[in-house]
Chains A and B, each alone.
Chain A
Amino acid sequence: MGLTNEPPDLLPGTLDLLILRSLVRGPLHGYAITERLKTVSQDVLQVGESSLYPALQRLLLNGWVKAEWGASENNRRARYYTLTAAGRKRLDAERDEFERLVGAIQRVLRLA
């Protein structure tokens, strides 16, 4: 399951991982997720809606997050995403896998 156009140079599956991680602290709506990712990554990760929303739908379909309509900060209807138990488990598994992969890449960059 690759990403669509942006950001093009992330490893496959990474966006799902990042979204799941950003939801650990509590429910967020789509825009807040992009903001969170942007600030925490110090403007490196700018996720476009054309990859964010398909990714969110994918997570919904897999049952890793659930969505509910609620009121936003400025009192508009917004769709909030919450991490489910299955999503939490998935996040742990994905994170281990990601760290293993990144470690491997770093080793190659240093030593090969």
Chain B
Amino acid sequence: MKLLRRALGWIRRRRLDADLAEELEFHRSAAQAALERDGLSADDARAASRRALGNLTLAREDARAVWIAPWIESVWQDARYAARTLRRERGSTLVALGALMVAIGLNTAVFSVFNAFVFRPWPVRDANRVVNVYNLSRLDLRKRAGGGPQGFSLAEVEYLGAHARTISDFVVLGRAGSGRLDDRDDEARLACVGGTYFTALGVPIAYGRGFDAGDAGPDAPPVVVLSDPCWRLAFGGDPSIVGTTIRLDGLPFTVIGITTPAFVGTGMGRMDVWLPLTAARLLRPTDPWVRNVLGKPDNCCTPLAGRLAPGVTPEQAQAELLVLRRQFHPDRAPEEAAVDLRGTTLAADPRANLSSLFVPLFTGAALVLVIACANVAHLLLARGLARRREIGVRLSLGAGRGRIVRQLLTETLVLVTAAGALGVAIAAWLPLQVIERWAAGWTALRVAPDARVAAFAIAAGACAWALCGLVPALQTTRSSVVDAVRDTPPRDGLGVPPPRRASRRARPDRRWSGPRSGVTCSASAPWIPSRTSKRRWC
């Protein structure tokens, strides 16, 4: 409530000012009237009332400060002045803006890809309740027959499914492969998955339905589900394809459903067609994985996921699965029955090797940011030197150095904020274009800016602000008042004329002849101690 009133006060601050001024004037005139009643003449009473009231402006500002903290007002003032300054020096502003925009945009783009790659769970219903179940037993890893890494044998999956209470449904993720869809030239990517895949995960379906346990039985007619991009590409996005028969590697399958565009698989790669595990035995009867894992239920292994039962934590589920595995393998040592539950993001995947890809990417992007900031810092330094007279005058009028540093930092902040906004726009657009052009065929990556990307962009902007703002602000305000004013050439009407005997090389006027020569001349000047004014310009 109080905050609301304060905000209203800010919006109506002109009105507030006018009210206060009028109110204080009324107060004064009332005091004057009282004095006149006491016998003073009108003029004397007016003067006396003024004296009695003291500094009216001060009183007004004190009263006004109750509503609007003075620092907010001065920050606002700084920001407006900064915007004006930046507009006035259009050339250097555009250069700085461009450099920072590219640097922040690039960093944010890399991060948004990283974000989509690493932190996004599977695009299924209630994804944070879905876990990958990993087998940590060395015995199984040794025995595995070309199957998915660190999974379970089908017999064990069946045992766990029958007894586990903490996992409501297990999902056999099976195996991916490729095959020819009808008479198309390019290969379609196939995923052979368990019968619970669509129902337990809650895969979003646009038309028809996903297959269920009934379609996965040994005698069920062969069925497939198509992904949205595959359906659009191969069948022109015609919904009537549902229920018709297509051929995979020459064998007939009935299309029973099409996923929504949001779902193209649970892995990194993009899937075109999903089939029940039984279909794999039809399509690839001689494949070693099909023979060894599907053909012999005791053989390891197939990757496994599961949905946690309501109210169950992953730790509870892990504890139960550990017990069940020991029961299933009574002959094994306890550590050979170990099991691990992880979320479905890549960040949670113990096998993912993220640093080899992203460390170089982020290093490169960070370097671009540092280089851009160094350049912008140089530009600002040069500009600050060209503005030494302005700064010197302000210092000599009594402005504190802190106040001027703040002013210069505000200018940089306005610059960085504008560049950051443009950079984020780039970051939202660029990865989509890159994926669209070069990776649309195979990746399941969905890049979209979210709160995490926004936080990263703000952090990158803050880094850029510190990197390119601090040094120029501190450096250009370091010169003493006397120096700044004395350096001022006579035509500015503020300083002492420079000595006539100055050598031809040391022409102080050069520096003021125009912004460009000023910049080139002073770019390396700030680190030279400014004691002898004659040598400084050599």
Residues on A lying within 8 angstroms of B by beta carbon are 4, 29-31, 48-50, 53-54, 56-58, 60-63, 67, 72, 74, 76-79
Contacts and interface: CB of A to CB of B under 8 A. Distances in A.
28 contacts: A4-B62, A30-B26, A31-B26, A31-B31, A48-B53, A49-B27, A49-B53, A50-B55, A50-B58, A53-B23, A53-B24, A53-B62, A54-B59, A54-B63, A54-B66, A57-B64, A57-B66, A60-B5, A61-B2, A61-B67, A72-B30, A76-B29, A77-B26, A78-B26, A79-B19, A79-B22, A79-B23, A79-B26
Interface of B: 1-2, 5-6, 9, 19-20, 22-24, 26-27, 29-31, 33, 53-55, 58-60, 62-67
A61 B1 contact: no
B63 A53 contact: yes
A49 B29 contact: no
A61 B58 contact: no
Name the residue in A49, A57, A67, A74 with the highest tally of chain B Cβ atoms < 10 Å from its Cβ. Answer: A49
Contacts of A49: 24, 27, 53-54, 59
Contacts of B63: 53-54, 56-57
A72 B23 CA distance: 12
A61 B6 contact: yes
Given A50-B62, A63-B1, 20 more contacts: A29-B23, A30-B23, A31-B27, A31-B30, A48-B53, A49-B24, A49-B59, A53-B60, A53-B62, A54-B62, A54-B63, A57-B64, A57-B67, A60-B5, A61-B5, A67-B19, A72-B30, A74-B33, A78-B26, A79-B22
A12 B19 CA distance: 27
Contacts of B31: 31
B348 to A, nearest CB: 50
Q: Is the interface of B mostly helix, strand, loop or mixed?
A: helix
B37 to A, nearest CB: 11
Contacts of B66: 54, 57-58, 61
Contacts of A62: 2
Nearest to B55: A50
B20 A53 contact: yes
B57 to A, nearest CB: 11
A108 B258 CA distance: 86
Contacts of A67: 19
A62 B2 CA distance: 6
A84 B229 CA distance: 65
A16 B185 CA distance: 86
B45 to A, nearest CB: 14
Contacts of B1: 63
Nearest to B30: A31
Nearest to A59: B66
Contacts of B59: 49-50, 53-54
Contacts of A63: 1-2, 5
Contacts of A77: 22, 26
Contacts of B29: 76
A76 B26 contact: yes
Contacts of A61: 2, 5-6, 9, 66-67
Contact of A29 (B2, B20, B26, B64): B26
Given A54-B63, A57-B67, A72 B53 contact: no
A94 B504 CA distance: 77
Contacts of A57: 20, 63-64, 66-67
Name the residue in A57, A67, A76 with the highest tally of chain B Cβ atoms < 10 Å from its Cβ. Answer: A57
A54 B61 CA distance: 9
B54 A50 contact: yes
A31 B9 CA distance: 23
Nearest to A33: B27
B49 to A, nearest CB: 11
A77 B23 CA distance: 9
A48 B26 contact: no
Contacts of A29: 23, 26
A70 B27 CA distance: 14
Nearest to B6: A61
B35 to A, nearest CB: 13
